[in-house]
Amino acid sequence: MKRSISALLGTIAERLESIRKVLDNLVSTIDAAQHRETEAGQRDNIAIAEQTRLANTTERKRSAEQKKNLCVQWVIGSGTWAAVIAACIYAGIAANQLTVMQNSADAARRQLEITDRAWVKVEVAPNFDIPKNSFIGQSLTFDANDVGHLSRKIILHNIGHSVANDVMIRDSTVAMSIWNHDFWFPIKVRDELCKSEISETDAQGNKRPSFIIFPQDSTKTYEISTFETKNLPDSPQDATLQRGKPIALYLVGCVDYRYGQSSVYHRTGFIFQVYGGPNHDGIQIKMPTPVKELTLDSFYLGGDYAY
């Protein structure tokens, strides 16, 4: 009986040991599974963290790249506007410099023209070169109809440094009553005459003489012109004057000329007042003025010009 109980207890002990081993194995398996699960969770967390880190890094890189691109675009835009502004400033400076250079060149050209061009000066004098018995040498005379005849010598001086070509004289004799004297009238007549179209013929259709005058040289020509005095207003004093009506007499005109290859005419305008004596004596229509007493002086109000 004891032996059976001992065997039974030994069997129970063995089975309990087997159960313990099975439980130990189960515990080990569960621990291993939990360990693997923990490791898997840790790996997942690490992977998630890595992905999050990579995503954050990528986002930061993308944001940095965007900022960089924006910065580059801003720099390019600013540089473009700066280049445009600089180009405008440079263009303005260049245009100003070009204007200054053109003005300097024009000034230099004008100065060179003034220095090297022809300049014609006009001198008018009594006609002493013609014999005194000839008609044209009687300087200032009046006929029976009170028509005046003024003879004179015109001397043209080229005081420039180029040859003066196609030199022509256009002039007119202006008579006015001393009782109704417009002192500016000779200038008006001269301006109207000189501003009119240049013609190679005069009012009577006669061809105008033309000259060539070399630098620092002169030429002279002789002229006679007629003028009316009957149309001048009378004065009560005129009837008591034995020498006739007193008049103021002027020779006005201009000299047209060219130089070099230029087709443009240049001009010298002049006004001379005619006197009956060296002391600015008056002129009366019943009294001729001989050559030795005739005087022609530049108009005291000026009016001469040259261009």
The CB-side HSE value for 244 (13 A sphere, CA atoms) comes to 20
| pLDDT at residue 39 is higher than 80 | no
Indicate whether 201 pLDDT > 90.
no
Give the model's pLDDT for residue 111.
Answer: 65
Closest-CA residue to 148 (of 298, 289, 299):
289
- Domain edges within the chain: 1-116, 120-306
List helix spans (H) across 131-253: 185-195
Q: What is the pLDDT of residue 258?
A: 92
pTM: 0.62
HSE-CB for 220 with a 13 A CA cutoff: 13
pLDDT of the residue at 207 = 79
Higher pLDDT: 46 or 173? It is 173
The pLDDT value given to residue 200: 74
Per-residue pLDDT at 64: 67
pLDDT, residue 157, reads 96
Q: Residue 239 has what pLDDT? A: 63
pLDDT average, residue stretch 51-62: 68
**What's the pLDDT at 291?**
82
Most confident of 54-68, 119-133, 211-225, 270-284: 211-225
- Average pLDDT value for residue range 288-307: 84
* 14-23, 167-176, 276-285: segment of lowest average pLDDT: 14-23
CA angle 289, 298, 227 (to 5 degrees): 45
pLDDT at 132 over 60: no
Name the DSSP letter for residue 295: E
Tokens standing for residue 29: 């398996």
Average pLDDT, the chain: 79
Nearest residue to 273 (alpha-carbon basis) of 145, 136, 178: 178
What is the H or E stretch that residue 2 is in? helix 2-116
Handedness of CA 190, 195, 199, 204 (dihedral sign): negative
- φ and ψ at 91, to 5 degrees? -60, -40
The contacts of residue 289 (CB under 8 Å, 6+ apart) are 139, 140, 141, 276, 277, 283
Highest mean pLDDT among 102-116, 199-213, 229-243: 199-213
Is residue 275 within 8 Å of 297, Cβ to Cβ? yes
Q: Are 271 and 190 in contact (CB under 8 A)?
A: yes
Amino acid found at 300 = Y
Q: For residues 200 and 207, is the Cβ–Cβ distance under 8 A?
A: yes
Predicted confidence (pLDDT) at residue 240 exceeds the cutoff of 70: no
- Least confident among 39-48, 125-134, 158-167, 285-294: 39-48
**For residues 73 and 145, which has the higher predicted lDDT (pLDDT)?**
145
